Structure 1
Amino acid sequence: MNTTEEVLDFVHHGHERYLPHLSIDCVIFGYHEHQLKILLIRHHQHDRWSLPGGYIGRHETLTEAANRILAEKTQLSNLFLEQFYVFGDSPTRMNRIETQQTHNTTYAKVGVTIGENHWLSERTLSIGYYALVDYLNVVVKPEYLVDEYCWWDASELPELEYDHNEIISKAFLTLRAQIYQQPVGYNLLPKKFTLPEIHALYESILDRQFDRRNFRKKLLALGMIRQLPEQRKIGPHRSPFLYEFDLEGYRRAVEDLSVRAF
């Protein structure tokens, strides 16, 4: 929604196109300068940040809606996308009055007051999805009711609106489990990467430290990555070799419980 007219149409007629009681919240992970990042937004006149999200179209599947919302936020398609939880029990999830007040703050920009019986004031359940994106390929499209976007370090997140800190915590638990089942790094790292980049990524996700020499030996022995003849010049006397994922090797490795020995 990028114009006043589009926002007003959503407020007055959105319930005809979207399911009023069900939304999607997206935890968008990126990786940059050895830091795991999460994309956050700040709505108009709100002090706290929140996760990007949106409503589910009446004729959309959940996956279709999640892909549409992510494409609108990042301008990317065919992303790694995983549904991980449904949120509705948290004491920090807003009640009807708080929902109404929050929407009135947001939609004051277009001169609209959300009444008690308005469809946006209804109790809403949220389906959590996490996405893995190439940080450098994300193009954030401005939105009329969003004042600011920002990539935050995953280890230094602020206190978020609603129950979004809880949603991110649950996404992290899922991501840590998936790192042994999916080529998570393949979706976060560039096609060709250095050993320090993948080493720092795994440490960031799993929140533990690995001996760099043993880490390299383990990944190569499992066939998860392969060393390339190319090198990246990053400074005087510093030209580390580049690596790439071997997806077939990765699939074989995750069938072997030894992969969990990281």
Structure 2
Amino acid sequence: MFYRLNILRRIVIKNRFFPVQNSIPKQNFYRSSSVLSAFNASDEQYSIANSTKQSPILESVHEKTTALGQLPSVMIVSSLQGSFLKSLVQISKATRVLEIGSLTGYSALCMAEGLKERGSEAKIVTLEKDEEFFKTAKENVESSGLGHMIELKLGAALDTLSTLDNAIPYDLIFIDADKENYINYYNSVLERNLLSDDGTIIVDNVLFGGSVSQVAEGKDLFYLHPIFKSAAEHLHLFNEYVAKDQRTTQVILPCFDGITFIRKRKV
């Protein structure tokens, strides 16, 4: 997800996200989360058409979120990425999931559907600091029939992470929140032993519409609003930080908006 609600509302309304010029290549802009990096919209629609259809619950929450306006429609993961998260939970046989950044609860619900087969111990803890999004997420979760599996926590994620019980670590941790704190979230997870030894951290938006690689190349992102330019710079710092960290191994996949898979390094 992008930077949080109050700042973005002003930017979206005033600048329509970026003060752009027609001469800037389209692929250089931060694309909607519904567009797969390196693929066009037709490729995504083809992928959706030939993938297992999402449940009516997930479709409804996704549609309601995108109908809230341009901001939530950009912040939410695409329906295809939602199906990917569900499959990932199933493939990994995760039992406990931690999500940093709830938005309207859609991604948590996708992962909850993947957890249903894991029994009574299956649980998702999801963190959100924006009160409006938290309220919407709570309503969506409570009406989904999956509320018994999902615990929503309101507050700044770093504060909440410091209080989470780490007696039973999480098998999968999904980070999709404010970009300036990605390194802090990552360190908090590792330092507090919130990740199980065989668990995986999934980090979203690490390529940020192609802008992160341009930061690495020293290009001037003059077409980006300063807020998003700062996000791209923080994401580059995060990617470099993780790549140099001897505690973990990682791989970045250039799909969706860039996803990093991180696991503890085996001694």
TM range (shorter): under 0.3
Q: Where is the helix percentage greater, Structure 1 or Structure 2?
A: 2
Whichever of the two has the greater Rg, that structure is 1
TM-score with structure 1 setting the length: 0.27
Q: Which has the higher strand share?
A: 1
